[in-house]
Chains A and B, each alone.
Chain A
């Protein structure tokens, strides 16, 4: 294989990566859409009782909290670590919130 051909293949790969970085809103848009349509889950826990929190409201509720900590494969988001009220997000939901630009996790 001619060296120049190998060089061109390498340059093409670099150019492709740079192009994808720059069109990332369109590129990641598909991944955000797939997360929005996924079974990403979010719940509100009060005194040990879980209630489903709609995806539509979850990220906004999560960003209000003091912290989100990893917990049992997902995240526990709370205003106070001792509080009996907190949110439970799975990894997909946390990823969705972060891709949506929220300062969580």
Chain B
């Protein structure tokens, strides 16, 4: 016969189990040193990386200094730096991530010509203020010189949307042809300073919002919207970032945010051999498309869509590690092929100036 003491025992066992589970979740993340990686004079053996390490190379995280050591051990592919007070702060941040890194990291910023992360010590015109393509080249070159001096090797710019209806400063002004030409000349100036340019936000119309309260954004893409991206690709842009817009028209994402639409990303891949970046995964246009409990599905969908680099600015390295585990499981159960991972990692390592051998 059930009595109160039996209930007490059951509850105590339940509390013990739940306490252990809770404590396990609070333990700091433990990652081994990546001593398995074989690198000799900038030649890296791809297969010396574990699957987790290869997946980590595909992630660009928010660069919080306190996470530097952990991200180095995980072999995270890149970090993003926000605004800082002075040049020395950028130098310190880059050093904290690069000095003991087994594989050099991509170090990215958004110097996209509106809100300026270097505003405390360097000023640049907004893209909207650039009048000619020669000026675009000069601005790209000047920005590239600053970034290069700070050992920042990726600028998530230029914006190639035809219009910025929100801030009115992030897009080049003018006709489609003028925007395309300015974009191409800007990236030329930037990349001559050995900074990778990333044209965004493919397929366009990301900065034209009809309802600012909506979190999921849809847009009809015209052929004109694609012209600046095609011009950038013709002019050897290093990367293209795909937005979270649900697109129709000239680019059809089939009812999904473009970033998780294999139709969009694979079609881009057919035209472009450089790095394909996702836009940041916490943005509501993507995150809001999934239920909160489906976040692992979202991570797998991003990789399945075909991105090389995925921006995830979650401040908790444990959540980054969960992302890696989610994709690893998808590879282990055959949902994603390991060759799919390898092809992106080869592109990433090559972009980092390494020679990749199998």
Q: Inside 8 A of A66's CB, which chain B residues have their CB?
A: 82-85, 117, 120
Asked if A60 and B4 make an inter-chain contact with CB atoms under 8 angstroms apart, the answer reads: no
With both beta carbons as reference points, the residue of chain A lying nearest to B165 in the complex is identified as A51
Cβ-Cβ contact count across A and B, 8 Å cutoff: 143
CB of B116 within 8 A of CB of A33, answer no
Using an 8 Å CB-CB cutoff, how does the interface string of B270-287 with A read, 1 for contact, 0 for none?
000000000010111101
Q: In the complex, are the beta carbons of A19 and B214 less than 8 A apart?
A: no
Given A18-B18, A36-B215, A51-B167, also A64-B7 (CB < 8 A): no
Docked complex: A62-105 residues within 8 A CB-CB of B: 63-66, 78-80, 83, 85, 87, 100-103
Nearest CB of B to A27, in Å? 9
Question: Residue A83 contacts which of B82, B119, B287 (CB distance < 8 angstroms)?
Answer: B119
B166 touches A57 (CB 8 A): yes
B-side binding surface: helix, strand, loop or mixed? loop
- Residue of A whose beta carbon sits closest to that of B25: A22
Known: A53-B167, A54-B212. A25 touches B293 (CB 8 A): yes
- Bound: A46/B19 CA distance, A: 50
Instruction: Determine which residue in A53, A78, A87, A101 has the highest number of CB atoms from chain B within 10 A of its CB, and name it.
Output: A101
Inter-chain contacts of B334 with A (CB < 8 A): none
CB under 8 Å from chain A, chain B span 1-17: 4-5, 7-8, 11-12, 14-15
Interface contact A85-B293, CB-CB below 8 Å: no
Partner-A contacts on B (CB < 8 A): 4-5, 7-8, 11-12, 14-15, 18-19, 21-22, 25, 62, 64, 82-85, 110, 114-120, 166-169, 209, 212-217, 244, 280, 282-285, 287-288, 291-293, 295, 313-316, 319
Chain A residues within CB distance 8 Å of chain B: 2, 4-5, 7-8, 11-12, 14-15, 18-19, 21-22, 25-26, 28-30, 32-33, 36, 39, 44, 46, 51-57, 59-61, 63-66, 78-80, 83, 85, 87, 100-103
